[in-house]
Structure 1
Amino acid sequence: MAATLCQVMGFVLSLIGIAGIIAATAMDQWATEDRFNSVVTAVYTYSGLWRSCVRQSSGLSECRPYFTILGLPALLQAVRALMIVGIVFGVIGCLIAIFALKCLKMGNMEDNIKATMTLTAGILFLLAGVCGIAGVSAFANLIVQSFRFTTYADSGYGVLGGSDIGGLSGGLTPRYTFGPALFVGWIGGAILVIGGVLMCLACRGMTPDNKQRYDGMAYKAASQHTIYKSDTRPRPAYNDSYKAQSMDGRQTNQRFDYV
């Protein structure tokens, strides 16, 4: 019962963590403009892994995707790869975990096979969580490095996409800070790691005992000091004939044999 509960909890947490990583990868607010001491307040810019966006004070938003990967930083491309690999590991782990659930009967599948599948799913969840946390942390490090630069820079692509990111022109480059997508990715990766640990712990409880027990009677061998004695008592002799008795109770010598 404890192994089943641990397995179900790990599976549910892993689903939540995968949903968090997918949502973080698709979000555009990985890096948001730092408005502290900002000169331009009518325009708000933010960027993600796939495109950069600008929002005006009127509420109108316009996004521009990254048409080429050659001008992007290598670290940004590595973050993309880490997030995609984490999602792939998480999806494969979910498919394996569904068939490994102990509460579901899948034909004549034995418990040791389900335990192996549970361990495999737990390892995949751990890898997916580590990839998600590593990708988000690498992007956060990229933001910290770019935050050191002044708001005035040369034209062309900067650390997070260039001076024209978000539609701004001229030599102004807005400084970026942590966006909501980073926190969603961190939380999703941490939940995935917890779910993977629970799945690995559930595998130990599902593993059957290697010592097989057989029900039967126990026979005790005779000891070496057992002494067998022959029966020396006299045995009575049996005769198939008997002496006839007279009417007055006296025995006669007449014998009757019965065939």
Structure 2
Amino acid sequence: MITSLLLGFFGCLCGMLGMQCTKVAEGNSVLKGKIATAGGALFILGGICPGIALSWYAFNITKEFFDPLYPGTKYEIGPALYLGWSGALLDVVGGALLCCSYKTQVSSAKNKYSYRAPGLNTVSSAKAGPQAALPRYDSNNSICKYGKNAYV
């Protein structure tokens, strides 16, 4: 269980560093994908470790419960074991999803388009005030010809 905690901690670190929103290896998306995949692998290993420990404990409880010659206290399988198995399963599934994100990050890096927003004339709009950047409606529609006090 301690190994699972350590693997989960290092999996969190690698997973955070491999996210697209971090500044670590910002220009190299392949390296970010590999870091995220390493975090996913650590999560999978971190989920397998408690799964093994919980299953081993449940086996021992079941073996001692059905042994009529066992002299000690007999325990039953409780809800904590089921919660532990559920947590281990979620850890493995989360690690697998993080590992699958590597292919998505590499393919999205190849399909990037260079787009630049059209620039505004900042000198004239700064002098004229904030309303100068708004579009003006010069239309022949009858809606635009009414003044402020022409409404009923």
Greater share of helix residues, 1 or 2?
2
Cα distance in 2 for partners of 1:98, 1:140 equals 34
Deviating 4+ runs (over 2 angstroms) = 103-109, 149-153, 208-212
Cα distance in 2 for partners of 1:152, 1:132 equals 26
3-state SS of 1:97 partner: helix
Question: 1:134: which partner in 2?
Answer: 52
Query: Relative contact order: is structure 1 or structure 2 higher (C-alpha 8 Å, sep ≥ 6)?
Result: 1
Cα distance in 2 for partners of 1:184, 1:116 equals 31
Q: Deviations over 1:48-82 (max 9, x none)?
A: xxxxxxxxxxxxxxxxxxxxxxxxxxxxxxxxxxx
C-alpha deviation, 1:208, in angstroms = 4.6
Number of residues of Structure 1 aligned to a counterpart in Structure 2 = 111
Instruction: Give me the identity figure in percent.
Output: 31
Out of 11, 16, 20, the position equivalent to 1:98 is 16
Cα distance in 2 for partners of 1:107, 1:129 equals 27
Cα distance in 1 for partners of 2:110, 2:59 equals 52
Q: Deviations over 1:145-197 (max 9, x none)?
A: 101233872xxxxxxxxxxxxxxxxxxx3321012321121011000011011
Q: Which runs of 5+ in 2 are unaligned?
A: 112-152
Cα distance in 1 for partners of 2:81, 2:22 equals 36
| TM-score, scaled to structure 2 | 0.65
Question: 1:202: which partner in 2?
Answer: 101
The two structures, once aligned, show a CA RMSD in angstroms of: 2.3
Letter in 2 for 1:204: K
3-state SS of 1:176 partner: coil
Please tell me whether the aligned partners of residues 25 and 32 of structure 2 are also in contact (alpha carbons under 8 angstroms): no
1:233-248 matches, within 5 Å, as none
Greater share of strand residues, 1 or 2?
1
| TM-score, scaled to structure 1 | 0.39
